[in-house]
C-alpha cells in the first residue's frame, strides 16, 4: 500500500512541477486540474499521504516525503482502488482537516519556511510567486529548494550571510 501512495505522491509532484505546495494548492490541483477526486476526498488523500510519510507537512507547506526520482510513474496516472479505499477509510474516521504544520523551522530542521517568511521583507508580497521563483531556480541549477530560496532572496537585496550557514548546515544534515 505504501508503494502505491508513494507513486501517487510522485505523480502529483511531477505533474504539478513543484516540490513545495500549500495544502490549498494540493486540494485544488487534485480536484480541479487532474480531477482525481472531490475536494473532501483530496483533503483525506493529503492526510493519508502525510501519515504514510509520502508527503511532509512543515509550516503550512507540503513537500515530498522521499526522493521519488527513481520511481516509475505511469504517464496518465490515476489513483488506484487501494489508494481510493485508504481515502474512503480516512473519511469514515472523520479526520480530513487541513494540517496545521505550525512547527518552527528549527524543530523540523528545515529552513525553507523561515526563508519564505523573510521574503515579504524584500518585495515578495505574494508567497506563491516567491515559491514559484524558488522552484524555477532549483530546476535550473539543480540545487535544493532552500538553496534556491537563498539565491532568490540574495538577488532581491537581502543580506544572506547569516542564513548561508544555516542553509549549508541544513543541506549537509540532509545529505
What are the tens digits of pLDDT across the range 69-84? 889 998 889 998 989 9
In a domain, 41, yes or no: yes
Q: Looking at the structure, tell me whether residues 137 and 158 fall in a common domain.
A: yes
One domain for residues 72 and 12? yes
Q: What does pTM read for this prediction?
A: 0.55
Q: For residues 84 and 37, is the Cβ–Cβ distance under 8 A?
A: yes
pLDDT band at 98 (very low <50, low <70, confident <90, very high): very low
Are 68 and 13 a contacting pair, CB within 8 Å?
Answer: yes
Q: Quick one: cell of 136?
A: 524555477
Inter-residue contact 168 to 160 (CB < 8 Å): no
**Range in 2-16, 84-98, 144-158 the model is least confident about:** 84-98
Do 130 and 72 share a domain, yes or no? no
80 and 117 share one domain = no
Are both 50 and 110 inside the same structural domain?
no
**Same domain flag for 78 and 130:** no
Q: Which of the listed residues 46, 63, 93 is the one where a domain comes to its end?
A: 93
Longest Cα pair distance anywhere in the chain, in angstroms?
Answer: 50
* pLDDT higher than threshold 50 for residue 90: yes
Write out the residue range of the structural domain in which residue 30 sits: 2-93
Query: Do 82 and 126 reside in the same domain of the chain?
Result: no
- Residue 98 in any domain: the answer is no
Pair 7, 77 in one domain = yes
Residue 99 lies in a domain: no
Backbone angles phi, psi at 63, to 5 degrees: -135, 160
On whether both 80 and 138 belong to a single domain, the answer is no
Amino acid at each position: 500500500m505504501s508503494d502505491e501512495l508513494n507513486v501517487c505522491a510522485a505523480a502529483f509532484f511531477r505533474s504539478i512541477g513543484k516540490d513545495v505546495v500549500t495544502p490549498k494548492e494540493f486540494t485544488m490541483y487534485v480536484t480541479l486540474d487532474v480531477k482525481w477526486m472531490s475536494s473532501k476526498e483530496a483533503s483525506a488523500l493529503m492526510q493519508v499521504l502525510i501519515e504514510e510519510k509520502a508527503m511532509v507537512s512543515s509550516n503550512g507547506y507540503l513537500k515530498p516525503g522521499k526522493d521519488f526520482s527513481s520511481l516509475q510513474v505511469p504517464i496518465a496516472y490515476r489513483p488506484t482502488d487501494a489508494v481510493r479505499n485508504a481515502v474512503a477509510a480516512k473519511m469514515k474516521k472523520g479526520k480530513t482537516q487541513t494540517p496545521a504544520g505550525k512547527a518552527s523551522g528549527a524543530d523540523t530542521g528545515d529552513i525553507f519556511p523561515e526563508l519564505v517568511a523573510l521574503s515579504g521583507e524584500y518585495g515578495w508580497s505574494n508567497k506563491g510567486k516567491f515559491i514559484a521563483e524558488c522552484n524555477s531556480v532549483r530546476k535550473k541549477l539543480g540545487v535544493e529548494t532552500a538553496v534556491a530560496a537563498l539565491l532568490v532572496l540574495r538577488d532581491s537585496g537581502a543580506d544572506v550571510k547569516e542564513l548561508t550557514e544555516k542553509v549549508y548546515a541544513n543541506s549537509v544534515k540532509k545529505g
